[in-house]
Amino acid sequence: MPTPTSTPTPAPQAPREIHTLADKLLEVHDWLRDQLVQLRAEAAAHFAERAAHQGPGRPPAPGIGLQIRQRCLEFCDALTFHHTSEDDHVLPGVAAHHPQLRPALDRLGEEHRAIARLKENLVGLLADLAAAEPARFLAEFDRLAADLTEHLDYEETWLVPVLAEVPFPPVAPAPEEGQQ
């Protein structure tokens, strides 16, 4: 499985037109993938800069580590929100209308929990990014990125076809005649 270090930077894309819940899911997944590439590059650059400034009289550039830490934490929060929303709303709705997808939906839920554990490991390393060992941090990041990318691909295989039937934003049902 390729890691973000071997993945080329994605070409800028035109904004995706959103007509269905599948379109919205793909928009979020595109953003997550793009953030993985950007964050990996920023973290690698930070550690390279830090290594270049180690030694007597050579302090690292102030604030860069804090910026990367903040961006990584924001990404982790967005990922948590995305997976929690899927677990609480999307997957139960799909299961109710497509019970034949239960094995795939169960796997998606398990993957959400596994990715959450990897994310928490990364958050732990972010607590003291200034002291983080670069190889360990980047290895943890790469593991999260690889597992998340594989998960997004699998999720799209199963969810995009059924979510393409659901308009976005949701349309409230029209009141029946005589009701208000």
More confident residue, 56 or 96: 96
- pLDDT tens, 125-160? 988 877 888 999 999 999 999 999 999 999 999 999
**The pLDDT of residue 2:** 44
What's the whole-model pTM score?
0.83
- pLDDT tens, 68-86? 889 999 999 999 999 999 9
How far is residue 14's CA from residue 25's CA, in Å, rounded to a whole number? 16
**What residue segments make up the domains of the chain, in order of their start?**
21-163
Site of tokens 């308009």 = 167
pLDDT at residue 90 greater than cutoff 90: yes
More confident residue, 55 or 164: 164
Residue 132 burial (10 A CB sphere; 0-12, 13-18, 19+): buried
DSSP secondary structure, the chain, as one string: ---TTTSPPPPP-PPPP--BHHHHHHHHHHHHHHHHHHHHHHHHHHHHHHHHT-STT-PPPTTHHHHHHHHHHHHHHHHHHHHHHIIIIIHHHHHHH-GGGHHHHHHHHHHHHHHHHHHHHHHHHHTTTTT--HHHHHHHHHHHHHHHHHHHHHHHHHHHHHHTTSBSS--PPPPPTT--
pLDDT at residue 174 greater than cutoff 90: no
Phi, psi of 167 (to 5 degrees): -65, 150
Peptide bond into 169 cis (omega under 30): yes
| Overall fold of domain 21-163 | Four Helix Bundle (Hemerythrin (Met), subunit A) (1.20.120)
**The pLDDT of residue 15:** 77
| Average pLDDT of the residues of the chain | 87
How far is residue 31's CA from residue 119's CA, in Å, rounded to a whole number? 17
pLDDT at residue 16 greater than cutoff 70: yes
pLDDT at residue 3 greater than cutoff 70: no
